[in-house]
Amino acid sequence: MLKNKRGWIRIVEAFVAILLITGVLLVLINKGYIGGKDISEKVYAFQLSALREIQLNDNLRNEVLNVPNSVIPLESNLPGFPPTVKSAIVKKTPSYLECKSKICFAERICSLDSYVEKDVYAEAVVISANLTNYNPRQVKIFCWGK
């Protein structure tokens, strides 16, 4: 009878060991130590920084507000996109990202015109008015890894 108990004890020990190893692996995968790198925090920090600059700089705000209604929505790769707004975004863009920006009406959905088969990170800011002009727009930045 004693030998039979030892067999059960070894089975339980093996089962507990497998559970411990599986638990450790799941924790490591969840923390990002194993698998791909998560760049989302860096991307969102860059996007918020660039959008905040556009939002707070009076010259950039005026350029966004002065885009004619007839050309909106307007992507950054098309003529008519304010060049200083585009350069403000491009100079802050990290080398590991490819980004497009778009100016849209504030009350409408603003999406990319083309499909990108990667993880796309998007952030937007509304620019509604300056001292003399009420013309609500949203500036949206779409970024993905190269």
Q: What is the pTM of this model?
A: 0.72
- List, for residues 20-65, the tens digit of each pLDDT value: 999 998 887 777 655 556 788 899 999 999 999 999 999 999 999 9
Across the chain, mean pLDDT equals: 88
> Which pLDDT belongs to residue 99?
93
Query: Which residues are paired to 104 by β-bridges?
Result: 138
pLDDT-derived band at 18 (thresholds 50, 70, 90) equals very high
Report angle CA 111, 57, 140 to the nearest 5 degrees.
5
- Inform me whether the pLDDT recorded for 102 exceeds 80: yes
- The pLDDT value given to residue 33: 56
- The β-bridge partners of 103 are 74, 139
Q: What percent of the chain has pLDDT over 90?
A: 59
* pLDDT the model gives residue 123: 94
Q: How far apart are CA 1 and CA 135, in angstroms?
A: 87
* Mean pLDDT within 126-130: 90
Contact 77, 35 (CB under 8 A): no
- Domain-by-domain residue ranges, the chain? 40-145
pLDDT at 36: 59
